[in-house]
Amino acid sequence: MEFKEKLLDSHLAFEERIDLSDAIHQTRLESLKTFEQKGFPSRKDEAWKYTSLNAMVLKDYALFPQTETTIQLKKVKKYFLYEIDTYKVVFIDGVYSPFLSDTTHDGLDVCLMSAALSKAKYRSLIDTYFNKIINKEDSLTALNTAYAQEGAYVYIPKSVVAEKPIEIIHFSTGKEKALWLQPRNLIVVDQNAQVQILERHQSLKEHVVVTNSVTEIYAHQDAFVDYYKIQNDLSTASLIDNTYISQEKKSNVRVHTFSLGGKLTRNNLNFCLNGQHCHSTLKGVTLLEDQQHVDHYTLVDHASPKCESHQDYKGVFSEGSKGVFNGKIHVDQLAQKTNAFQQNNNILLDDKATVNTKPQLEIFADDVKCSHGCTVGQMDEDALFYMRSRGIPKKEAKALMTYAFANNVLESVELPILKKRINKLIAKKLGVNLGFDL
Amino acid sequence: MGYTEEELKKELETKEYEYGFYTEIDSETFPVGLNEEVVRRISKKKKEPEWMIQWRLKAYEAWKKMEEPEWANVQYSKPDYQAISYYSAPKKKDQYKSLDEVDPELLKTFDKLGISIDEQKKLAGVALDIVMDSVSVATTFKETLAEKGIIFCSISEAIQKHPDLVKKYIGTVIPIQDNYFAALNAAVFSDGSFCYIPKGVRCPMELSTYFRINQAGTGQFERTLVIADKSSYVSYLEGCTAPSRDENQLHAAVVELVALDDAEIKYSTVQNWFPGDKNGKGGVYNFVTKRGICHKNSKISWTQVETGSAVTWKYPSCILKGDNSIGEFYSIALTNNYQQADTGTKMVHLGKNTKSTIISKGISAGKSQNSYRGLVQVHPRAINARNFSQCDSLLMGNQCGAHTFPYIEAKNKTAQIEHEATTSKIGEDQIFYCNQRGIDPEKAIALVVNGFSKEVLNKLPMEFAVEAQKLLEISLEGSVG
């Protein structure tokens, strides 16, 4: 495995370029060791049973882009929520772009991970939060930690409501033939604070790019975090997203994932509910075609009593696309009065499309309400016939059915402008123009 | 209230295993250990033909290269395969012609088990094959069955008398290198049942096998092969018990079902191996491989009630190879004290218009862990495959666990798959409702559990349903969560 060697060898060079505190340096080295021992996951690992990284890691990638690149705003404007004012943290080929970004330190921190890691005033925060809730056994997370340097850093102080949504966008320009990116985000939402965040990875040219991203989110007591992941990349881009969320008492975290494109997308979404009365929402819409592959791997760990979690993933798969859903609800012995729900519905439109789904429950407490449901099926022929007999063309009828199918997820998007955008994206994907907003 | 939850719990814990007696029967046991020589000796003992010896040796070679699987959600200290005796048989000189010749001690054992062979013969109309310490000791109703052309005998007898049939089908559903325990079984199985239903015959009575481990330090490895020829029907029952012992005994059986075109096999199991005492000491390791293959328009239905064993690892499966074939799986798995069960099914849809139904009910009490693990696989050519799965878990007490691991793999767009699972405890309001009407808590729980498992109990043949219901009640008296 040559690329693994390269990753191990380049680490020294990587660390030499940056001047950082010793604590992080140690963490990096330990993580590198973990990665060295574990290597890339293979299909023999139960968690990677249906997703193979073999082809991906056989290639060679550039780890450090050569030069700084600038892009004109008008070229990429459409990827932003330009209709409204937002904070923006933008990276081009892994390098921060001050020109496209709009950061702040006014009342709340929306800035760079590299700044947070190197400046003394952030030191205690980094010590408290950095690399604390990740799965130390996960090799890809360890790899990211070993190279942790750039990404977004967000801190919302006590009782502050972020007035504008925050956009974290990674562009890749295709200057390198093949690029391996490892952004690292840290989001801390203090007591009673609120924030909405949007994350997007976008390549601007058809070229090979793999993003191995890690995001840590801390939601303190009564905090509210609304997180959206838009995955509508080109068919050459792959994404491995590792998100770790820790929730305290009465906090509410919602994560919506829209997987509409990309070669291979793996979403590892981990929730840990540490306080009572937490609310967690995990929802996703997957709409695939071609040879695309999306793997949702969720874990909700109910470690405290009286929490509620809700999962709802919808998938529509056409052509040779492949969908995987692997959801796990773990209810600790202490976590009485847990209410956990998990649903995964899939529609297969093509004979070559595949769905593998594995919704799991692991329950150690008796006074709980836990259920899951999962289906694989087709569109209702009768409903299609009904619409067509009333003059709605087949394509539109199918699109309507798809909307209805995904509506549970779509309607819970709380940013109206984003909702509109996603609806448009889906309409475009389905090749229709429905004359109404959903 | 006079009867508190604590008392109920205590009573439940101290409830002893009813079948935990040991019978003094002269038996012949091999020294412990496993090597090529032992495999040969078993084969020789059974007077098997050369091809069978080769088959066994091949399995042994395969087994040596395999590793014991660890993926199941159970924890146990692995048995030492060199510390087990692989052959133990009640001593006998010749084949019994009638029951009068059977060792009276043995008959007493069966009486204690509640199987009176005589009575069964006269009243119940169940043909019975009894396997004790891996050797078949009595087969009843042989002649009646023979008139219809049905072959029902021990597998070692079948190997000698019907070698063509055995050779044709053995190992076809579960290949010798299928998994660790199946390979071990193929190498050392000492007996089991064999059943063949000829074309167009509907077996007039329930066929039944009763397994019992008696001797200490032995493992039981029986192999069952059921073949239903075209358009035939058979209902097959299987029951098991073992004496209470401190050590862990190993039971690694293999069951193969072959349903040819238009045939139907109904296979019911009431598994009540010794589960270990209330501290989790002793008990049987039940590592069983069961699989059936369905040809055109045929149907295989598995029904199981699992209340025993310290560790259970069992996935009765259906390979729906033929078009329009049907697979069914109904299961109740009950775990108490320190029992662990990882059980479920596999439905592999290969043919067109194949259907499968999975109903699994898990009940965990005490400090037990109960897992459902199932696979529904729809292959690209399986047009219009249909599956419905439902697994419900009931938790009693806050120290047990219930887990669900369903795997669903769909590779055909016409597949329709539904899966749903719930986990809950017995509602206090349900108990309250019963109490109000003068039903004590203990009975109320039995009532709720019965209702919970009714869908499965209903699928059992009459005689077994009664036994199963009783078993559930014994294991579950009073566990208000």
The pLDDT tens digits for A130-166 are: 988 998 889 999 999 998 888 999 999 999 999 999 9
Closest chain B residue to the Cα of A358, Cα to Cα: B407
The two beta strands, B206-212 and A87-92, are: unpaired
**Can you give the residue range of the structural domain that contains B419?**
5-26+87-145+188-476
Quick: pLDDT tens for A336-379.
Answer: 899 999 999 999 988 889 999 999 889 988 888 888 888 998 88
Is A362 in contact with B418 (Cβ distance < 8 A)? no
Number of domains forming the structure of chain B = 1
Q: What are phi and psi of B264, to 5 degrees?
A: -140, 130
Q: How far apart, in Å, are the Cα atoms of A241 and each of A54, A117, A181, A244? A: 17, 21, 11, 10
Distance (Å) from the C-alpha of residue A243 to the closest C-alpha of chain B?
A: 23
What is the average pLDDT score of chain B? Answer: 79
Residue-wise DSSP of B423-477: EEE--HHHHHHHHHTT--HHHHHHHHHHHHTHHHHTTS-HHHHHHHHHHHHHHHS
Q: What are phi and psi of A411, to 5 degrees?
A: -70, -15
**Can you give the residue range of the structural domain that contains A321?**
2-397
Q: Are B243 and B278 in contact (CB under 8 A)?
A: no
Q: Are A389 and A424 in contact (CB under 8 A)?
A: no
Decide if A393 is inside a domain. yes
CB atoms near residue B376 (< 10 Å): 27
Distance (Å) from the C-alpha of residue A51 to the closest C-alpha of chain B?
A: 13
Decide if B82 is inside a domain. no
Residue A118, classed as helix, strand or coil, is helix
Angle, alpha carbons B125-B129-B135 (nearest 5°): 165
Share of chain A above pLDDT 90, in %: 45
Q: Are A241 and A406 in contact (CB under 8 A)?
A: no
Is A374 in contact with B401 (Cβ distance < 8 A)? no
pLDDT of residue B122: 39
Q: What are phi and psi of A230, to 5 degrees?
A: -105, 115
Considering only CB atoms, A358 lies closest to which of B380, B405, B413, namely B405
Decide if A434 is inside a domain. no
The residues facing B362 across adjacent strands are B333, B393
Share of chain B above pLDDT 90, in %: 22
**Is residue A42 pLDDT above 70, yes or no?**
yes
Distance (Å) from the C-alpha of residue B370 to the closest C-alpha of chain A?
A: 10
CB atoms near residue B466 (< 10 Å): 12
Considering only CB atoms, B412 lies closest to which of A336, A346, A351, namely A351
- Residue A56 and residue A50: Cα distance in Å, rounded? 15
> Pick from B355, B351, B358: which is nearest to B331 by CA?
B358
Decide if B50 is inside a domain. no
Decide if B284 is inside a domain. yes
Element holding B155 (H helix, E strand): helix B155-161
pLDDT of residue A294: 94
> Pick from A208, A204, A316, A326: which is nearest to A263 by CA?
A208
Decide if B45 is inside a domain. no
Q: Are A125 and A23 in contact (CB under 8 A)?
A: no
For testing contact with chain B, the best of A366, A367, A368, A379 (most B CBs within 10 A): A366
pLDDT of residue A428: 85
Residue B20, classed as helix, strand or coil, is coil
Decide if A37 is inside a domain. yes
Decide if A81 is inside a domain. yes
A-side interface with B, Cβ within 8 Å?
46, 333, 336, 346, 348-378
pLDDT of residue B30: 72
Q: How far apart, in Å, are the Cα atoms of A208 and each of A150, A211, B267? A: 20, 10, 54
Q: How far apart, in Å, are the Cα atoms of A210 and each of A152, A178, B402? A: 18, 8, 38
- Residue B365 and residue B445: Cα distance in Å, rounded? 12
Tokens of B420: 């749903």
Lowest mean pLDDT among A71-75, A259-263, B402-406: A71-75
Is B395 in contact with A366 (Cβ distance < 8 A)? yes
pLDDT of residue A214: 94
pLDDT of residue B480: 46
pLDDT of residue B84: 77
CB atoms near residue B27 (< 10 Å): 18
CB atoms near residue A151 (< 10 Å): 27
Phi-psi region of A262 (alpha: psi -120 to 50; beta: other; left: phi over 0): left
Q: Does B410 touch chain A (CB under 8 A)?
A: yes
Tokens of B474: 């014994």
Is A373 in contact with B421 (Cβ distance < 8 A)? yes
Is A354 in contact with B409 (Cβ distance < 8 A)? yes
The residue count for chain A: 438
Considering only CB atoms, B408 lies closest to which of A351, A358, A365, namely A358
Decide if B367 is inside a domain. yes
- Residue B432 and residue B439: Cα distance in Å, rounded? 9
**Is residue B21 pLDDT above 60, yes or no?**
no
In one letter, which amino acid is A240? I
Quick: pLDDT tens for B411-426.
Answer: 988 999 999 888 888 8
- Residue A32 and residue B284: Cα distance in Å, rounded? 45
Number of domains forming the structure of chain A = 1
**Is residue B101 pLDDT above 60, yes or no?**
no
| Confidence band for B216, pLDDT divided at 50, 70 and 90 | low
Q: What are phi and psi of B320, to 5 degrees?
A: -90, 80
- Residue A274 and residue A278: Cα distance in Å, rounded? 8
Question: A412: buried, middle or exposed (CB in 10 Å: 19+, 13-18, 0-12)?
Answer: middle
What is the mean pLDDT of the segment spanning B16-20? 57
Residue-wise DSSP of B26-42: -EEEPPS---HHHHHHH
Query: A336 to chain B: which residues are within 8 Å by CB?
Result: 398
**Is residue B24 pLDDT above 70, yes or no?**
no
Quick: pLDDT tens for A171-201.
Answer: 988 877 888 999 999 999 999 999 999 999 9
pLDDT of residue A322: 92
Query: Cα Rg for chain B, rounded, in angstroms?
Result: 22
The residues facing B317 across adjacent strands are B291, B346
Q: Are B270 and B238 in contact (CB under 8 A)?
A: yes
- Residue B237 and residue B203: Cα distance in Å, rounded? 13
**Is residue B443 pLDDT above 70, yes or no?**
yes
Residue A423, classed as helix, strand or coil, is helix
Q: What are phi and psi of B375, to 5 degrees?
A: -130, 130
For testing contact with chain A, the best of B392, B419, B445 (most A CBs within 10 A): B419
pLDDT of residue B1: 40
| Confidence band for B241, pLDDT divided at 50, 70 and 90 | low
Query: A352 to chain B: which residues are within 8 Å by CB?
Result: 380
Quick: pLDDT tens for B36-86.
Answer: 888 888 888 778 888 888 888 988 888 888 888 888 788 887 778 887 777
Helices (H), ranges, B330-453: 428-436, 441-452
pTM of the model: 0.83
Considering only CB atoms, A363 lies closest to which of B403, B406, B410, namely B403
pLDDT of residue A435: 59
| Between residues A409 and B247, the one the model is more confident about | A409
- Residue B369 and residue B275: Cα distance in Å, rounded? 13
Q: Are A316 and A409 in contact (CB under 8 A)?
A: no
Q: Are B413 and B434 in contact (CB under 8 A)?
A: no
Decide if B267 is inside a domain. yes
What is the average pLDDT score of chain A? Answer: 89
| Between residues B59 and B89, the one the model is more confident about | B59
CB atoms near residue B64 (< 10 Å): 13
Decide if B67 is inside a domain. no
Q: What are phi and psi of A12, to 5 degrees?
A: -60, -50
Phi-psi region of A409 (alpha: psi -120 to 50; beta: other; left: phi over 0): alpha
| Confidence band for B94, pLDDT divided at 50, 70 and 90 | very low
What is the mean pLDDT of the segment spanning A119-130? 87
Residue B95, classed as helix, strand or coil, is coil
Q: DSSP 3-state helix, strand, coil percentages of chain A (rounded to 5)?
A: 25, 40, 35
pLDDT of residue B125: 43
Phi-psi region of A89 (alpha: psi -120 to 50; beta: other; left: phi over 0): beta
Quick: pLDDT tens for B296-321.
Answer: 999 999 998 888 788 888 899 999 99
pLDDT of residue B10: 58
Tokens of A89: 């943290």
Query: A356 to chain B: which residues are within 8 Å by CB?
Result: 407-410
Q: How far apart, in Å, are the Cα atoms of B64 and each of B183, B248, B350? A: 9, 22, 32
Question: B279: buried, middle or exposed (CB in 10 Å: 19+, 13-18, 0-12)?
Answer: exposed
| Confidence band for B377, pLDDT divided at 50, 70 and 90 | very high
pLDDT of residue B306: 85
